Amino acid sequence: MTERQLPPDALAPEQVEWTGNWIAAKRRGRWEYATRTRGVRAAVILAVDAGEVILVEQYRVAIGKFCLELPAGLIGDEDENEDDLTSARRELEEETGYQAAQWETLGEFYSSPGMVQESFTLLKATGLSQVHDGGGTEHEEIVVHRVPLSRIAEVIAEHRAKGHGIDVKLTMLLGPQLLEDAAQ
């Protein structure tokens, strides 16, 4: 087996084109991409309970529409010493009103590695108990959906029909059905 060589762009110096409060646009060779500033990453929560998954719906300015998503939030945006689990616990309760008795870290993933350097840690939350209605902070208007896993494809189709965006991370919930359909 031969060792793979890095492409020439990988060795080019990184140039910062501009930096905002949360995002920086960068260039390396012929490639342009975005990064989060200050090393901020995200925690994404797969909250499942009794055959149902907790999803959130909120308006996303970048796509200009409401989007159906897994609950998530930034790690270290308020406290740079915050760890993944602490952030996930905080975000799950803020956005959905649920707390979880059990947590499992499923790993680090990249959102759109051809364009964005951002990664997220995916955490599974189980043993859910609702402590309030959720909805996010005073600057957020989050709608919480508790969806039976058996209806996930139907619910996604309903949101698409309304013109909503669908977060790519929801494909993991469609995975078994997509693979089953492909095998036939």
The pLDDT value given to residue 183: 60
pLDDT digits (tens, 9 = 90+) for 25-79: 999 999 999 998 887 889 999 999 999 999 999 999 999 999 999 999 999 777 8
The pLDDT value given to residue 22: 87
Q: How confident is the model at residue 168 (pLDDT cuts 50, 70, 90)?
A: very high
The pLDDT value given to residue 80: 79
- The lowest-confidence range among 15-19, 127-131, 176-180 is 176-180
Q: Which domains does the chain have, with CATH numbers?
A: 37-176 (3.90.79.10)
- The rounded mean pLDDT for the chain is 92
Instruction: Considering only residues 130 and 78, tell me which one the structure prediction assigns the higher pLDDT.
Output: 130
Residue spans of alpha helices (H) in 41-170: 84-96, 152-161
The pLDDT value given to residue 40: 83
Q: Is the CB of residue 27 less than 8 Å from the CB of residue 15?
A: yes
CA–CA gap between residue 59 and residue 93 (Å, rounded): 19
Q: Is the CB of residue 166 less than 8 Å from the CB of residue 156?
A: yes
The yes-or-no verdict on residue 1 having pLDDT over 60 is no
Q: How confident is the model at residue 177 (pLDDT cuts 50, 70, 90)?
A: confident
CA–CA gap between residue 76 and residue 36 (Å, rounded): 11
CA–CA gap between residue 171 and residue 27 (Å, rounded): 30
Give the mean pLDDT of 96-119. 94
The yes-or-no verdict on residue 184 having pLDDT over 70 is no
Residue 32: strand pairing partners: 27
pLDDT digits (tens, 9 = 90+) for 156-167: 999 999 999 999
CA–CA gap between residue 130 and residue 95 (Å, rounded): 12
Q: What is the pTM of this model?
A: 0.90
